[in-house]
Amino acid sequence: MGEVLMGKVLEVTDRTFAQEVLHSTSPVLVDFWADWCGPCKAIAPIVEDLAREYEGQLTVMKLDVDANPRTVSAYGVQSIPTLLVFKNGKPAERILGAVPKHVIVDTLHRVVA
């Protein structure tokens, strides 16, 4: 398993996605983003806050869409930012666009006990 830094947003790639996300024993929030995406940068601090606030209950990861086309295609991500919440190896929730923090938190409450 990869390096686990509690309260941090971790990078995930096509190569590590199955191990880090699909086989995770806890829910995983994956932020599909790109360096050139303004709205992605706008929600990055929110995603980082959530990694700290949900430490021990949720793993938070980022996937660069330009560098990882297999995973992007596999989950039908067509616009970014897209946040996918995985539980038991399956996508449980999808959030599209740069939404306010409370929208993400409300969604997470449906997945995280």
**Backbone phi, then psi, for 58, in 5-degree steps?**
-150, 140
CA atoms of 78 and 76, how far apart (whole Å): 6
Does 1 fall in a domain? no
Domain that holds residue 54: 9-111
DSSP code of residue 89: T
pLDDT band at residue 1 under the 50/70/90 scheme: very low
CATH number, position 34: 3.40.30.10
**For residue 5, pLDDT beyond 70:** no
Does 36 fall in a domain? yes
3-state secondary structure of 59: strand
Does 49 fall in a domain? yes
| Amino acid 25: pLDDT | 94
Does 95 fall in a domain? yes
pLDDT band at residue 3 under the 50/70/90 scheme: very low
| Amino acid 4: pLDDT | 44
Does 26 fall in a domain? yes
The set of catalytic residues is: 37, 40
Does 3 fall in a domain? no
Q: Of 99, 106, 110, 95, nearest to 27 (Cα)?
A: 110
* Number of structural domains the chain divides into: 1
Does 72 fall in a domain? yes
Does 4 fall in a domain? no
